Chains A and B, each alone.
Chain A
Amino acid sequence: MVDFFYSNPTWLVGLVVVGVWTGLSLIGLVIFTRFVKLDVREKDTETVGLTYAIVAVIYAVLLALIVVDVYETASRADEVATAEANQISSLMFASAGLPAPVAKVVHDDLDQYIDDVVKIEWPNQQKGQLDEAGYDKGWDAVAHLSNTLAVYEPANLGANVNKGVMLKAVNELIKARRTRILAAAEHLPDIVWQILLISGAGAVVYLYLFGLRSFGLHLAVVALVSGTIALVFVLIIALDYPFRGDVSVGDDAFVSVKAASANTAAPAK
């Protein structure tokens, strides 16, 4: 069920969410108006309208802030992916200071790592397949790279400084990688969704208490409010799970590092 929301295009998810939510709201109104007659509600429409303000504001602000938060999470995920690619780029450049055989091993490891990330990890993340095994090849490449640098013995102080910088970059790469893997599994907690749905239902039911003389107009009001709420739900779904689905963090940063590396001459030393 949840997979449907993240494995289909946003327009389709939007149609389903808006359609179902609005449809249920209208069915609720039809049932409610059968049991609570217009003359009972009409006299108190003013009171209902005035008191609705607080319910609407609480829900509107909460909903808006959650959208902003989900959007920020997606932005942070983008930053993490960029940071990871930046460390790869730094290592590519810094490898020029290594002896040719070591530099070649480092280059090959980094190329292999980018291929693993772009061809295996990214498609898996977009499909929501986040099992550990999918990341094994990437970890192997990083472990080999880390070990190569750790055992490399520099011939002079200058080379030693270079080694220090590269070790730091590998550590930052590992941190960014792990943060990215954890971020790929991040999503809005279930309790937040439950509260949004329950509060949303409360906000819609409140509208039923209004006593509009025209039932058609009452249907329109309920449809418009519930449609607006559903649209925000669609936005949250689209932005949630930052590495999954149609709207997700792309692998452009890695692809551009790979392209830059291909355009750079092989380390000459």
Chain B
Amino acid sequence: MLNQFFYTHSNIEVLLLVCGGLIAISLVVLYAVHRLVDWEKREKDTSAIGLSYAIAGAVYAVALAFVAVGVYDAMDKAESVTTQEANSLSSLMFDSTALPAAAATELRADVSKYIEIVTKTEWPAQQAYHMEDENFAAGWAQVQKISLELSTYQPKTNGQATNKGELLQDVSDLYAARRTRLLAANSHLPDAVWQMMICGLALIVIYVCLFGPHNYKIHMAVTALTVFSVAVVFTLIIALDYPFRGDLSVDDDAFVGVQATADRLFSHGGK
């Protein structure tokens, strides 16, 4: 349910919920520790706690930053896969000029239909994380149609045979890129990583609560700011995770661009 909330609301709403929620919980924990463990006891050992906290905090901080950057890299890769798929479609459009006029027009129409399915059906499904197979069946059928058309095409000369080889390679690249995109759309940060990050944050909060500052408000500020800095990175990870899902996701510009170029260059059905 929480997962659903994160990807149906704006980043600012997620930021407010994550930061507000985690800071509130940490302040409640601080209050409980303050009541249960005498301040004087904590104050005497603040230096020792601080020194040991440095290593625990640094390990957690580095791990957290690496997870954030790893998620950002995954999004970059998802974008590359999308570009590859669009590039294959672009190659099919350009290479179609080698076919007889009727076959070329049919191939371009099929590629355009595929682009329409991807941008109008598959992209919204990915953004809503409706990754059921039926949402992608039409796309697969269209790729199979293109593949069948090309494999049954009989070239009459050596030159046409070479062209056919290039077109088949384009379809093969399209298959590979499409499958990789669908797998990438399903991928996300494993639950175990989230569990470790949340447990790590809990330990950090307990650590901070063990400090014994003289002023309770300073203790509250320190706790809130520490949790805030972690919560902000959590928000970043949530925003970047699921590269094809939600507000901040890989867009379909690459496909739209291929169609726009093809419309301009081949709009008269010419070669």
- Residues of A with Cβ closer than 8 Å to B? 40-41, 43-44, 46-51, 53-55, 57-59, 61-62, 65-66, 69, 73, 132, 136, 139-140, 142-143, 146-147, 150-154, 157, 160, 163-164, 167-168, 170-171, 174-175, 178-179, 181-182, 185-186, 189-192, 194-195, 198-199, 202-203, 205-206, 209
Contact = CB atoms under 8 A, between A and B. Distances in A.
Contacts of A154: 158-159, 162
5 contacts: A40-B218, A53-B57, A171-B166, A178-B86, A189-B239
A187 B53 CA distance: 37
Nearest to A140: B265
Given A54-B226, A179-B83, A202 B215 contact: no
Nearest to B235: A195
Nearest 8 CB-CB pairings of A with B: A50-B50, A54-B57, A150-B98, A61-B65, A57-B61, A44-B213, A65-B69, A58-B61
A58 B50 contact: no
A46 B233 contact: no
B50 A163 contact: no
Nearest to A186: B79
B60 interface: yes
A199 B226 CA distance: 10
Interface in B53-101: 53-54, 57-58, 60-62, 64-66, 68-69, 72-73, 76, 79, 83-84, 86-87, 90-91, 94-95, 97-98
Contacts of A152: 159
A84 to B, nearest CB: 12
B72 A157 contact: no
B211 interface: yes
Given A47-B213, A153-B157, A171-B170, A59 B229 contact: yes
B166 to A, nearest CB: 5
A51 B222 contact: yes
B87 A175 contact: yes
B151 interface: no
B254 A47 contact: no
Q: Chain B CB within 10 Å — which of A50, A140, A163, A206 has the most?
A: A50
Contact of B225 (A43, A46, A151, A202): A202
Q: Chain A CB within 10 Å — which of B94, B213, B214 has the most?
A: B94
Contacts of B97: 143, 146-147, 150-151
A71 B62 CA distance: 20
A47 B211 contact: yes
A209 B94 contact: no
B264 interface: yes
Contact residues of A: prevailing secondary structure: helix
Nearest to B11: A191
B225 A55 contact: yes
Contacts of B233: 58, 62, 195, 199
Contacts of B269: none
B202 interface: no
A151 B271 contact: yes
Contact residues of B: prevailing secondary structure: helix
Contacts of A167: 95, 162-163, 166
B213 A43 contact: yes
Given A40-B218, A202-B229, A209-B222, A53 B53 contact: yes
A156 to B, nearest CB: 8
A48 to B, nearest CB: 6
A57 B248 CA distance: 26
Interface in B176-223: 204, 208, 211-215, 217-219, 221-222
A103 to B, nearest CB: 16
Nearest to A156: B158
B232 A198 contact: yes
Given A51-B211, A147-B271, A69 B72 contact: yes
B260 interface: yes
A47 B159 contact: no
A75 to B, nearest CB: 13
A44 B58 CA distance: 21
Contacts of A185: 253
A47 B61 contact: no
B123 to A, nearest CB: 16
A58 B86 CA distance: 37
B257 interface: yes
A146 B221 CA distance: 65
A175 B90 contact: yes
A58 B248 contact: no
Contact of B65 (A58, A190, A194, A203): A58
